[in-house]
Amino acid sequence: MGRMFMEECTEAAPRHDIPHTSHLLLVDDDPALLDALWGTLDTRFGHYTLDVCDSGARGLELAKQQHYDTIIVDVNMPGMSGLEFLTQVKQVQPQVPVLVITAHADKTVMARAFEGGAADFIPKPFDRDDIVQAVRRGLDLSRLQSVAANLGSRYRNTLQKLVVVRQELQQAAMQRLNKQAF
C-alpha cells in the first residue's frame, strides 16, 4: 500500500478519522527509504496522515496546498535539493518543523540545514527509534507553536479589552471629577 503512494506521489488516506490528526510530509527520492519510513511511521503512530513524495518540487506544491505538522526531507535529491526545499517551504509554512535526513552528513551540511530553519538533522543510516523520536519532537514542537500562537492571540485580545476598560475607567473618573467641580 505504501508503494502506491510513492509512485503516484499522492496523498495518503487518514489512518483514523479523529479531529486532531497530525499531518506529515515525507520527501525523498529513494523508494526503498520511503517505503521503510512509511512502514515505521505507520506502526508507531496512531493518528496521522502521511503524504509521501519523491521530489522537492512536488513536496513544495503539496506544502502550498496543505498545512503540515512536520516535514521530513532528504538533502540529496535530483532537481531541487532538500536544502533548497527547506528554504522555500519555510517561506510558505514558516513554523513547520522540518527534519532533514541525509546520507552525506557533515558539519557544513548540518550548519546549513539549521541556518535554513531545520528543526533536526538526522544522518543516514539511522535507527528507526531515532527517526520516530525526531518525528515525535517535531510534532510536539508543532503543537506547542500552535498553542503559543493561540495564547498570543488571546493575549492581544485581552490587552485590547484592557485598553478599552482603562479608557472607560478614565472617562468615568473624569465625569465624577467634573460633577464635583461644579
- 166 falls in which pLDDT band (50, 70, 90)? low
Residue 6 has pLDDT above 60, yes or no: no
Q: Would you call 26 helix, strand, or coil by DSSP?
A: strand
Instruction: Quote the CA–CA distance of 74 and 56 in Å, as a whole number.
Output: 9
* Cell 552525506, residue located: 104
Residues 6+ apart with CB under 8 A from 94: 117
- 107 falls in which pLDDT band (50, 70, 90)? confident
Residue 37 has pLDDT above 80, yes or no: yes
Q: Specify the DSSP class assigned to residue 14.
A: P
Instruction: Give me the phi and psi of 33, to 5 degrees please.
Output: -70, -40
Helix (H), strand (E) at residue 142: helix 128-181
Q: How far is CA 160 from CA 39, 72, 165, 174, in A?
A: 49, 39, 9, 21
Instruction: Quote the CA–CA distance of 177 and 179 in Å, as a whole number.
Output: 5
Helix (H), strand (E) at residue 19: none
The pTM of this model reads 0.75
Q: Specify the DSSP class assigned to residue 11.
A: B
